[in-house]
């Protein structure tokens, strides 16, 4: 979604959903937009529901664990990796 139009677009979509009594589901990575426009936030991590809360209940700790990038954390080196020799040119 275009960042400059996102707030306006979400407001229009939410109003349309209310007027037509339908559920609006949006997949957003812009947390501030989600918290501003939706009463309920479902955080999904690795294909699983991480939390399902009212927007007012979503705290920094929820978002930190949802968006934590474990792949960037130092990983212990296995014995196999330590003993492998790679020839260099």
80 inside domain = no
Separation CA 78–CA 65 (nearest Å): 26
Whether residue 32 sits in one domain with residue 11: yes
Q: Which residue range forms the structural domain that includes residue 56?
A: 41-69
Q: CB neighbours (10 Å) of residue 34?
A: 19
Q: HSE on the CB side for 81, CA within 13 Å?
A: 4
Cα–Cα distances (Å) from 53 to 33, 36, 57, 61, in that order, read: 16, 14, 6, 13
pTM: 0.70
Name 11's Cβ contacts closer than 8 Å, sequence gap at least 6.
Answer: 37
Whether residue 33 sits in one domain with residue 8: yes
pLDDT along the chain (89 residues), means of 10: 87 97 94 95 95 97 90 56 52
> How many structural domains compose the chain?
2
16 inside domain = yes
83 inside domain = no
């Amino acid at each position: 979604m275009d960042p400059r139009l996102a707030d306006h677009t979400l407001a229009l979509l939410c109003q349309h959903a209310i007027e037509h009594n339908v559920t609006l589901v949006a997949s957003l990575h812009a947390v501030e937009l989600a918290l501003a426009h939706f009463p309920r936030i479902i955080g999904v991590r690795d294909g699983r529901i991480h939390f399902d809360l009212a927007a007012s209940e979503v705290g920094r700790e929820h978002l930190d664990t949802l968006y934590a990038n474990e792949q960037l954390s130092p990983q212990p080196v296995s014995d196999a990796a330590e003993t492998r020799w790679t020839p260099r040119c």
